[in-house]
């Protein structure tokens, strides 16, 4: 895997909208994200030509969205690329991407949710990319970005040392919805739920592997496309998965994981990391999601020794960590520790 050059204060970073036109729908929320990106990290956001177009226009023009992404990679004055927001149709841009351009112009690429598909394109091109916050969901956090997220971004994107031990967030998490269309709410902090740490559901000993995954529903859409990872990519991999703000039920998780089992993927893995369920799923229902994972992994597939860690801080709850695709990580079940053993950048 090719690692991009680290970011520095003062760098110009592209903003792309590979899926939903969130900036055009909620311009004040986008502006808050850009302002907080500058205040916390000293980065100057440069909107690509179509990134701020209205959502209906972007929905009709997937090729224009792809052109923005390709132009962002090709422009040497731009040192990184951040998705404005996710959505549900970046699958339509894949046919317009040039993996040669991505590989020849390595730079930081950051986003989550539907941006999973662009991450798979980067992975196929051989570039390390980063599953983490977007401009509007993450950097634009109400009342200022969370310290846990700020630290994760700095360690993954700004420092050329190994990322190292990633601690659980113990300061509280949130999925509270505050209307992005009401500017008066931007300065109001969202209510936090208590953090009780991650749930180590099964496994023993320490296991290493390369990180690969994303939003579970979006990964399902990629199956059968040229961007789905080759079978060998799953050998010894650490699969990370999380569910979106649409809050698919536990049975949907069962069905998705059965597909991984049918492809022979589950049996190849070193570990499975599961993000906290998105979409306002109450903590009282988390055990049902844990049981869904274990039903497939342990009961149906007999992989009772495969480490499974749930309730982790990535995906559709905040604050979130940053996970680099293709880099070596370690899951230590005995110590209940998760570490990323390489630097994300050079």
Q: Decide which of 162, 194, 221 is a domain's last residue.
A: 162
283, 134: one domain: no
Q: What is the pLDDT of residue 65?
A: 98
Residue 221 confidence (pLDDT):
97
The verdict on 294 and 325 lying in the same domain is yes
pLDDT at 220: 97
Give the number of domains in the chain: 2
Tell me whether residue 116 is in a domain.
yes
Asked if residue 174 belongs to a domain, the reply is no
Tell me the pairing of strands 323-324 and 206-215. unpaired
Residue 130 — φ and ψ, nearest 5°?
Answer: -130, 120
Residues 126 and 192 in one domain: no
Strand order in the sheet with 108-111: 44-47, 12-16, 80-83, 108-111, 130-131, 323-324
> What does the pLDDT read at residue 338?
98
pLDDT on residue 254: 98
Q: What confidence score (pLDDT) does residue 16 get?
A: 98
Domain of 133 in residue numbering reads as 12-162
The 164-165 sheet, strands edge to edge: 164-165, 337-340, 328-332, 206-215, 238-242, 271-275, 308-312, 199-202
Among residues 132, 162, 192, the one where a domain terminates is 162
**What pLDDT, in 10s, does the model give residues 96-118?**
999 999 999 999 999 999 999 99
What is residue 315's predicted lDDT score, i.e. its pLDDT?
97
The residue among 193, 197, 175, 177 whose CA lies nearest residue 185 is 177
Ranges of residues in the chain whose predicted pLDDT is under 70: none
Q: How does pLDDT run across 257-275, given as a tens digit for each residue?
A: 999 999 999 999 999 999 9
pTM summary value: 0.98
Looking at residue 91, its pLDDT comes to 97
Residues 150, 276 within the same domain: no
């Amino acid at each position: 895997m090719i690692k991009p050059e680290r970011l520095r204060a003062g760098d110009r970073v592209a903003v792309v909208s590979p899926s939903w036109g969130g900036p055009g729908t909620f311009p004040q929320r986008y502006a808050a994200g850009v302002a907080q990106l500058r205040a916390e990290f000293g980065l100057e956001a440069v909107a690509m030509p179509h990134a701020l177009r209205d959502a209906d226009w972007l929905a009709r023009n997937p090729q224009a969205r792809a052109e923005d992404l390709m132009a962002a990679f090709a422009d040497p004055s731009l040192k990184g690329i951040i998705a404005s927001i996710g959505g549900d149709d970046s699958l339509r841009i894949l046919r317009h991407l040039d993996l040669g351009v991505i590989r020849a112009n390595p730079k930081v690429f950051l986003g989550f949710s539907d941006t999973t598909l662009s991450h798979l394109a980067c992975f196929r091109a051989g570039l390390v990319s980063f599953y983490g916050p977007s401009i509007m969901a993450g950097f634009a956090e109400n009342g200022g970005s969370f310290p846990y997220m700020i630290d994760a971004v700095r360690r993954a994107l700004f420092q050329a040392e190994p990322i190292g031990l990633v601690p659980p967030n113990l300061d509280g998490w949130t999925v509270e919805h505050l209307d992005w269309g009401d500017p008066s709410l931007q300065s109001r902090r969202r209510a936090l739920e208590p953090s009780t740490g991650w749930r180590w559901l099964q496994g023993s000993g320490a296991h290493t592997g390369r990180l690969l995954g994303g939003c579970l529903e979006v990964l399902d859409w990629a199956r059968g496309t040229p961007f789905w990872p080759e079978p060998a990519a799953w050998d010894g991999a650490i699969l990370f998965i999380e569910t979106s703000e649409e809050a698919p039920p536990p049975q949907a998780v069962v069905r998705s994981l059965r597909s991984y089992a049918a492809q022979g993927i589950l049996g190849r893995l070193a570990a499975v990391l599961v993000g906290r369920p998105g979409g306002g799923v109450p903590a009282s229902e988390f055990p049902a999601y844990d049981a869904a994972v274990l039903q497939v992994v342990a009961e149906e597939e007999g992989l009772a020794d495969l480490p499974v860690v749930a309730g982790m801080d990535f995906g559709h709850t905040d604050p979130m960590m940053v996970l680099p695709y293709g880099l070596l990580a370690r899951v230590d079940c005995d110590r209940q520790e998760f570490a990323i053993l390489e630097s994300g950048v050079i």
